[in-house]
Amino acid sequence: MSKEWGPDDIFDVLASETARDILLLSSSTAMSAGQLARECDASKPTVYRRINKLQEYDLLEQRMVIDNGGNHYNTYRTNMDRICFDIRGDEFVVTIRFEEDLIDRFVSAWTKLGQSETGDN
């Protein structure tokens, strides 16, 4: 989805305790909306609104799961591992570090290796 964002947007998203809870709960394991609703003690509609907002800013990823009975449902997992708020001059600067999957880490390491061999930095 990837929406352009600034500090005000992130502050707005994180102002919701439910959104913060969703990020924390889904940081260690993927969870369904029903599981998140129970753990957050919130209604499913509220959880889905927060999930949608978090996905707009790529802070949460969605995956479809098919259980042994053939039923399918979505699970959600936090897509970032760090948010930093800095004050630079007269403005806030927000930096979000997203989790890299194995392929991203390999490409990054390979690129760095190639740069060190050619002397590029």
Confidence of residue 46 (pLDDT cuts 50, 70, 90): very high
Give kind and range of the element (H or E) at residue 19: helix 17-25
- pTM beyond 0.75: the answer is no
pLDDT digit string, tens, across residues 51-102 = 999 998 889 999 999 989 999 999 999 988 888 888 889 988 887 877 765 4
Q: How far is CA 116 from CA 105, 108, 113, 121, in A?
A: 16, 12, 5, 7
**Beta strands per DSSP E along 4-98:** 31-32, 60-66, 72-78, 80-88, 91-98
Portion of the chain with pLDDT greater than 70, in percent: 77
CA dist 52 and 36 (Å) reads 13
Average pLDDT value over all residues in the chain: 83
| Domains of the chain from N-terminus onward | 7-118 (1.10.10.10)
SS3 state of residue 85:
strand
